[in-house]
Each structure stands twice: as C-alpha cells, then as structure tokens.
A and B are shown apart, each in its own frame.
Chain A
Amino acid sequence: MSIILDISKVDMVFPTPKGDFTALKGVDLQIKKGEFISLIGHSGCGKSTVLNIVACLHRATLGGVLLNNKEVTEPGPERAVVFQNHSLLPWLTAYQNIELAVKQVFKNKMSPAEMKEWIEHNLRLVHMDHAKDKRPDEISGGMKQRIGIARALAMKPEVLLMDEPFGALDALTRAHMQDSLMEIQQKLNNTVIMITHDVDEAVLLSDRIVMMTNGPAATIGEILDVNLPHPRNRLALAEDVEYNRLRSAVLTFLYEKQRKVEVIPTAESTKTTEKAGIKQNTSSVA
C-alpha cells in the first residue's frame, strides 16, 4: 500500500524563558493508507507535539510533514483532530457541533438535504443519534467524546488524529469506546494516528505501535507490528499468546528501557508524575 503521510526528520525546539527546549529530535515515520498507528510513551515525552505538528497547530523547527507527497503548512480538515477534552462548543448541540464542521468542509459539495443526512449518518455511526439535540453539558464524558469523534469523521479526513481520546474516561466507558472505534474502523478503514498511554488499548486497536523515548529530544524508540487478525475481541485476546507477547514487549519498552529515572513504580508516584505531566501540558498549550 502507498504511503499517505510522511513525517520527515522532524525536530521541535520550543523557545522558553530559560532558553531553548528541544522537545523532539529526528522523529521520522511513514504511514500507509488505512493504517492504524498508536503513539505510546511516557507523559511529557512529546506525543502531543508530534500530533500537533502533523495537524500544523505547531510548526516543526526542522523537517516537515508530507501528506500525499505534498508538504502541509496549515491546519486543515483533511487532518481532523479528536482532542483529549472533547473540545465540543458548549453553546451548540451535538448536531450543530457536527453541522459546523460539515457546512465548512462540504460548503459547495453537498446540498442541505445531503448535509443533514451525512450529519445524522455520523451520529448513528457513534451511536449518538438519540442525543443529537443535547448540549455538551447535558451528556456524559463518553458521549461527548463520541460526538467529538463523529465530528472528526464527518470531515472525511485523509488522516484522523486522536490525542488520548479516551484518557479522561473511566475504564468501563473506555472499553466501550474502544469497541466502538474498532467497529467504525472495520467499516471505514481510516488512516489513524492515536496517542495513548494505555498498553492494552494500543495493542487492541493498532496495526503498528510507535514507542517514543523519553524527552527532552525525544524520538521514536521502537516500532512494533501488530499482526493480530480483525475483528479483535478483547476477551478472546486475553488468552492469546501473540497478544500477550506484544503487550509485554510494550511494557518492557516503557518500564525497563525507557523507565523514568525518578519514578519508583508504585501506583501513587506514577499518578502524581502523570498529573504533573498533564498540568504542564495544558499550561503550555494555553
């Protein structure tokens, strides 16, 4: 299959008051059409930065991103993003949130009736047609994330970018969402880059798992091919030898090769570092 997205030797240096901070160094990755890629790594290593560079919400200091062999320089709906915190517009209903996207992307290509049908089709795809007239603050976190995914899918993106889409959800809801995403992926066969720090999620969903080293100057450490047949079933896979081999390969990478120096792996301390990472992350974005 052909390469659709080429992340080519990307460096990212953030100017900070304390001098330059090299977040990424030589990140190089080629993605084939229809591939599902997971980006995994410790908090703060630079996963979001990679995604933001692909979306052009950040510009790489060195290197660049090619989509269908053309360099991308501005954000666009062909690289739709699902953000971690749903980022639905709270003054619009679920339907209107998707409508805003559809109206912009298919301005002169769809009739109003076709648009309506397309919006409703995408709501059905994420099983949210019953909540189409609800506002974001009237629905649960998982439902909001579903709408966010529907909005991104409705743009018919060439590449779907997801930044820890299920990170803020409880374990049960997350499992539901993963199943839904697998079901959608079976139907649409999108090209997807998904950031996660959930090992099971990565193995369950991906065709390839891209593991990043710790920052600063983070880069791609290892790439793991996942050749499990589709459709995948989380219960059946729990016993699967290959699944467990992949799982422990990722765990080994994360907790032996790239173990965070200061982390003593008790539940408590992992949690606090994670929180600190997230805090830093949001404050740097804002």
Chain B
Amino acid sequence: MTAVISKKALGIAPMSNNKMIMSFISEKVQALILPMAGIFCFMLLWSLTASSIDTSLGKFPGPHAVATQVVNLIDEHNAERDKADVFYIRQDERNKVRMAKDPSYQPKVRIYTGKETFLDQILTSLVTVISGFLVAAVIAIPLGIAIGLSKTLNTAINPIIQIFKPVSPLAWLPIVTMVVSALYVSPDPMFAKSFITSLITVTLCSLWPMVINTSFGVVSMNQDWVNVSKVLSLPKHVHIQKIVLPASIPAIFTGMRMSLGIAWMVLIAAEMLSQSPGLGKFVWDEFQNGSSQSLSRIMTAVLTIGLIGYLLDRTMLQLQRILSWDKSSAQL
C-alpha cells in the first residue's frame, strides 16, 4: 500500500515530460532489478549457510541440490508415466489375444496403480485446495451477505463465528476424519475418503475470513447507494443482486484472498498429519524415508509450496482485476 501511495506522490510532483519518461523507465527497471538482486543475495546466503550445516542425513541442501532434485523428480514422473503406458499396452494385447481365442471372453481392464509422483501430488493438492475453497465460497458469500443485511442474524451468529474462527482446522481433523468414515459410505465412491477429509478441512478454514469480510463489505456499504435503492423501491432480490453484491465485491475478494492463503497452508499441514495424498504427504514420506536425498527433496517441495501459494494469490488478484469495479483495491 505504502509503495503505491509513494509512487502516486511521485507522479504528482511537477516534472518535465522527459524527466517523467526517465523516471517511468527507471521505475520499471527498479521493479525488475531489485527483486532479482534480492533473490541473488538470498541464493548466495542460502548456499553459504547450507554448506556449513551438517545433519544426520548429510549436508543441508543448497540451491544446486534442489535444482538436481527438480530434474530427478520430473524424470521419475516421466518414467512412471512410461511404465503406465507399457502396462496399458500389454493389457490391451493380452485382452486381444484372449478375445481372438474365445469371442465370449469379457476383457478385464485394470487401472495402473503405480507410485504417485511429485507432480501427481502437486496436482492432488491443487485440486483439493481449489475444490475446498469453492465449496467454502458457495457457503460463505451468501451467508456473509445475509449477516451483513440483517442485524438480527448478525447478533445471533456472531458469537458462533467468533468462537470457531480461532480454531485451527487441524484440531478439527480427527473429528472430520471420523465423521467422513462414518457417513461417507458408498460401495463405489466418486471421491476418495482422504480427498473429502482434506476438502472439508480446507473449507472449514476458508469459511470464516470470507464470511467476515463479506458481511463487513455489506455493512460498510455507502449509505447513498442504499438510499438510491430505497428511492427506486427496488425489490429485495434486485437490491441484493444490483446493489449489495457489486458494492461488496472488493471486500469479498479481500476475504477470498485471505482464505485461499490460509487454505493452502492448512492443506499441506493436514496432508502431513492425516497421510492424505498431496504435497504434505510427499514431505512426510520423504522425512520418514530418510535417504541421503530426502532433505533436498523436502527443500524442493517447500519451495514448490511457496511458489504455488504465490501463484494462487496472483491468480486471485488477476481475477479481482477483471471482476471488480474498484481497481484501487486490486493492487499489491
């Protein structure tokens, strides 16, 4: 925020055209060079400290070790995919041969059950976090609007929100796991139980920031807009659709970005704790594995988690830029 303000202040200062172009260019260059310099310094510091820390699993992984692991993990993924392809080709051939011998034979099709690779785990975590987040949004935004519009509802629900908000969703995990195992019983489940458990955990922690921010957006809506709606005698549903919802879009997005950030952090921890597939499980498995490569693989996962978290936030921000009328709140 402060950076934005100071830039604006710079723009206001009287300057000649030439100077303005120069300062614009230097601003762009700074925006590119400074982060690069920062990253470079971090790398340097990292490799220096890494080489001086000895653990029972060997040296602490530096940038080089991580880079090697990135290549390794991608290779492993490709190898695993090749294995799967080979498996399916062989299965096909086998079935064809049996069919030729005996036309009444029902071909058996089995699904390849190989080890989940790093890239598979990334995908699992991403799908889980997005699904859980979407479920939370579908519940939280209407609830937030209802609470924002009705003082009665607000007074009734507020204590519940205040009590559940500070609970770490990880504390819910055992309860969620037990309830899911008890209730989610179907002979041919569409989703794995572990997926449902992780999803509910993500939903639980995404819910509160969105509810609170949405209702705050509704309550702090410009009173003039409400008066416009009153003078027009807009029916309730039109009022919500045309006035309340657009007016609180900036606050809703603030809540969504907060939620998504928390959701991603919590999901990794939940996956580690409950051994559900995903990046968290990858980290935990490597930790249990304890090979000479484990630390560098964990370090790779840590950086990946950070990068994905960053990209998720950027995506939300981009979405906000497209959807929100209030461009000033869609900065940073």
Contact = CB atoms under 8 A, between A and B. Distances in A.
A57 interface: yes
B234 interface: yes
B225 interface: yes
Contact of B230 (A57, A100, A155): A57
Contacts of B326: 90
B111 interface: no
Contact of A83 (B224, B233, B246): B224
Interface in B207-249: 222-225, 227-228, 230-234, 238, 242-243, 246-247, 249
A81 B223 contact: no
B225 A87 contact: yes
A104 B232 contact: yes
A87 B222 contact: yes
A243 B246 CA distance: 48
B231 A76 contact: yes
A85 B224 contact: yes
Interface size bracket, B side: 10 to 19
Contacts of B230: 57, 75
A185 B264 CA distance: 60
A100 B233 CA distance: 11
Contact of B227 (A77, A87, A104, A155): A87
Interface string A131-150: 00001000000000000000
B325 interface: yes
B238 to A, nearest CB: 7
Given A87-B222, A87-B224, A80 B231 contact: yes
Contacts of B246: 89, 91
Which secondary structure dominates chain B's binding surface?
A: helix
A248 B50 CA distance: 85
Given A89-B246, A104-B238, A81 B325 contact: no
Contacts of B228: 81, 83, 87, 89
A182 interface: no
Interface in B151-200: none
Nearest to A56: B230
A90 B225 CA distance: 10
A81 B232 contact: no
Given A89-B243, A90-B326, A77 B224 contact: no
Contacts of A135: 325
Interface string A68-94: 000000111101110101010111000
Contacts, number: 53
Contacts of B231: 55, 57, 75-77, 79-81
B227 A83 contact: yes
A286 interface: yes
Contacts of A104: 232-234, 238
Contacts of A76: 231, 233
Nearest to B328: A137
Interface string A44-70: 000000000001010000000000000
Contact of B232 (A91, A100, A285, A286): A100
Contacts of B325: 90-91, 135
A100 B242 contact: yes
Contacts of A224: none
A186 to B, nearest CB: 25
A199 interface: no
A89 B225 CA distance: 7
Contacts of A101: 232
Contacts of B234: 104
Nearest to B326: A90
Interface of B: 222-225, 227-228, 230-234, 238, 242-243, 246-247, 249, 325-326
Interface of A: 55, 57, 74-77, 79-81, 83, 85, 87, 89-91, 100-101, 104-105, 135, 155, 285-286
16 contacts: A57-B230, A76-B231, A77-B232, A77-B233, A81-B228, A83-B224, A83-B227, A87-B228, A89-B242, A89-B247, A90-B325, A91-B249, A91-B325, A100-B242, A104-B232, A105-B232
Given A87-B225, A89-B242, A89-B246, 9 more contacts: A55-B227, A75-B227, A77-B232, A81-B231, A83-B224, A87-B222, A87-B224, A91-B325, A105-B232
A-B interface, 7 closest residue pairs, ranked by CB to CB distance from nearest: A91-B325, A87-B224, A75-B230, A91-B246, A104-B232, A75-B231, A81-B231
